[in-house]
Chains A and B, each alone.
Chain A
Amino acid sequence: MGDLAIFGFGEGGWGLSLLEGAAMTLLVSACGLLIGAAIGGLVAWARLSGKRLAGAVGEGYAALFRGLPELLIVYFVYFGTSTALTETALLFGHEGFIGVPAFAAGALAVGVISGAYQAEVFRAAFLAIAKGELEAAVSVGMNRALMARRIILPQVLRFALPGLGNLWQVALKDSSLISVTGLAELMRVSQVGAGSTHRPFAFYLGGAALYLVMTVITTRVFDIAEARATRGMRRAAV
């Protein structure tokens, strides 16, 4: 088979499989980023709460998950959740190994990693809100929920957008580690293709090219979103 025919969409071509893998990569990274946003939001909230214990827990979470290898976290989440599930099921009388779906474990692992970094992004974004705006909101009688919805969240999201864009790229690349759990994302599909056609160079190069395309396009999307979100703001410098 020709060099390019293996990436084709015809008989024996891997084009469709690779594109499906890329779609899976996007999906699992996006889920990971959302889980990370939930974790990061909670951790940032804990650190900003001013309460000693909550602050220490938040700080500990961020320090721990930024200090461990991503691959180790992927393994730990995958094996750990499966073992926990199997042992819990044993209490209810079910014997035998229960595996957590690779997608769920993968998204959770990416989210746990991303959350540790997103916490810092959200915290900085909150601290960037002008204090006068919060005081003004209190003085017109807004309660905490209303203030969060009208004043804090819109601005935190706006200020956090550049940092989130970077973390999206990181999540996209970290998602390749999920291939060790067997989830058919781009990295895994490239491996399978490389193995069954004995053309590893072509397949890994093709996979890398698809990753690059995804990174470049999604970075552009984040740039546009950032430009839109800050269109009403005056710039300190152009």
Chain B
Amino acid sequence: MDLDFISRTFVRLIAAAPLTLTVWLLSVVFGALIAAGVTWLRVSGVKPFELFARGYVLVFRGTPLLIQLFIVYYGLASLPAVRASFVWPILRDAFNCAVLSLALCTAAYQAEIFRGALLAVPHGQVEAARACGMSGFLLFRRVIFPIAMRHALPPYSTEMISMVKATALVSLVTLWDVMSVALKIRNDTLVTYLPLILAGAIYFVVNYAIGAGFLALERKLTPHLRPRPI
């Protein structure tokens, strides 16, 4: 257990961090777009749309992400119809499959966060805006979105951190992220604790930074809730 081994292990793990972060960022962004659509269906007031959105959330939150990932990566790839279709060039790559299934899963959680945030917008604010003659997109942009976004921030930060942790699953579909590099080093050197501890430290620091970033954003966006300086 010399210092040289520690630093070499650390360098190899850090080299895998960009992949972990790329998977995270892409799945979170695509997930937010899908979630916006699901939320829109959920509050649309049209019964079939609403049922679809409810079903989507139930299925993706009620099953483990690991099995969703395997359905996309191993399952879809085994179907001849998929292999013959135009999506095959996308789905043949483990990276795309990982991003797709992580995005679909986080979309369900994010949709619930968005819905909760929309419901928390006081009705009086919307009425006041309508009384001033705002409607449609203007009403959303000026009144609903700014209020809802502030409500959504704390649970959203939790979801972002969950997603960093979830990216570790992509190690099981042949991608070389921090988790799989740590396991490879463990396998090759038979050193049990060190690679896993260093990998854990990397994940922890990333999560801590995301948590701190969201906290700072929340503080910046809610100056009216801060105690007045004396």
User: A residues bordering B, Cβ < 8 Å?
Assistant: 64, 66-72, 75-76, 79-80, 83, 169, 172-177, 179-180, 187, 190-191, 194, 198-201, 204-205, 207-208, 211-212, 215-216
Q: How far is the CA of A206 from the CA of B228 in the complex (A)?
A: 57
Question: How many Å from the CB of B209 to the closest CB on chain A?
Answer: 11
Chain A CB within 10 Å, residue with most, of B66, B164, B196: B66
Q: Which residues of A contact B129 (CB under 8 A)?
A: none
With contacts A67-B208, A201-B76, A201-B79 known, is A79 near B192, CB below 8 A?
yes
Q: Which residues of B contact A180 (CB under 8 A)?
A: 172
Chain A CB within 10 Å, residue with most, of B62, B63, B78, B183: B63
Give residues of chain B (145-199) contacting chain A, Cβ–Cβ below 8 Å: 161, 164-169, 171-172, 179, 182-183, 186, 192-193, 196-197, 199
Q: Which residue of A lies closest to B199 (CB)?
A: A72
Q: How far is the CA of A68 from the CA of B199 in the complex (A)?
A: 9
Within 8 Å by CB of B67, from A67, A71, A76, A204, lies: A204
Which applies to chain A's interface (DSSP): helix, strand, loop or mixed? helix
Q: Does B62 contact A69, Cβ atoms closer than 8 Å?
A: no
Q: Which residues of B contact A71 (CB under 8 A)?
A: 165, 168-169, 171-172, 179
Chain A CB within 10 Å, residue with most, of B75, B186, B203: B75
Within 8 Å by CB of B62, from A76, A83, A190, A212, lies: A212
Q: How far is the CA of A11 from the CA of B59 in the complex (A)?
A: 31
With contacts A176-B66, A211-B62 known, is A205 near B169, CB below 8 A?
no
Q: Which residues of A contact B90 (CB under 8 A)?
A: none
Q: Which residues of A contact B74 (CB under 8 A)?
A: 194, 200-201, 204
Q: How far is the CA of A16 from the CA of B175 in the complex (A)?
A: 33
Interface residues on B, range: 35 or more
Within 8 Å by CB of A187, from B58, B62, B66, lies: B66
Q: Does A67 contact B78, Cβ atoms closer than 8 Å?
A: no
Q: How far is the CA of A65 from the CA of B34 in the complex (A)?
A: 29
Q: Which residues of A contact B197 (CB under 8 A)?
A: 76
Q: Which residues of A contact B56 (CB under 8 A)?
A: none
Apart from A66-B161, A187-B66: 13 A-B pairs, beta carbons within 8 A: A67-B204, A68-B203, A71-B165, A71-B169, A72-B168, A75-B183, A76-B197, A200-B70, A200-B75, A200-B77, A201-B74, A207-B67, A215-B63
Q: How far is the CA of A66 from the CA of B207 in the complex (A)?
A: 9
Q: Which residues of B contact A175 (CB under 8 A)?
A: 64
Q: Does A211 contact B67, Cβ atoms closer than 8 Å?
A: yes
Q: Does A64 contact B204, Cβ atoms closer than 8 Å?
A: yes
Q: Does A67 contact B203, Cβ atoms closer than 8 Å?
A: yes
Q: How far is the CA of A207 from the CA of B70 in the complex (A)?
A: 11
User: Does residue B200 face the partner (Cβ distance < 8 Å to A)?
Assistant: yes
Q: Does B193 contact A208, Cβ atoms closer than 8 Å?
A: no
Q: How far is the CA of A70 from the CA of B203 in the complex (A)?
A: 11
User: Does residue B39 face the partner (Cβ distance < 8 Å to A)?
Assistant: no
Q: Does A187 contact B64, Cβ atoms closer than 8 Å?
A: yes
List 11 contacting pairs A-B, 8 Å CB cutoff, sorted by A.
Answer: A67-B204, A70-B168, A71-B165, A72-B179, A79-B192, A173-B64, A199-B78, A201-B79, A208-B59, A208-B63, A211-B67
User: Does residue B68 face the partner (Cβ distance < 8 Å to A)?
Assistant: yes
With contacts A176-B66, A215-B63 known, is A83 near B193, CB below 8 A?
yes
User: Does residue B33 face the partner (Cβ distance < 8 Å to A)?
Assistant: no
Question: How many Å from the CB of A168 to the closest CB on chain B?
Answer: 12
Chain B CB within 10 Å, residue with most, of A75, A76, A180, A211: A75
User: Does residue B126 face the partner (Cβ distance < 8 Å to A)?
Assistant: no
With contacts A76-B200, A173-B65, A187-B64 known, is A70 near B165, CB below 8 A?
yes
User: Does residue B71 face the partner (Cβ distance < 8 Å to A)?
Assistant: yes
Chain B CB within 10 Å, residue with most, of A71, A83, A198: A71
Q: Which residue of B lies closest to A201 (CB)?
A: B75
Give residues of chain B (40-76) contacting chain A, Cβ–Cβ below 8 Å: 58-59, 62-68, 70-71, 74-76
Q: Which residue of A lies closest to B182 (CB)?
A: A72
Q: Does A204 contact B71, Cβ atoms closer than 8 Å?
A: yes
Q: How far is the CA of A71 from the CA of B183 in the complex (A)?
A: 11
Q: Which residues of A contact B70 (CB under 8 A)?
A: 190-191, 194, 200, 204
Q: Does A69 contact B75, Cβ atoms closer than 8 Å?
A: no
With contacts A75-B183, A200-B70, A211-B67 known, is A68 near B75, CB below 8 A?
no
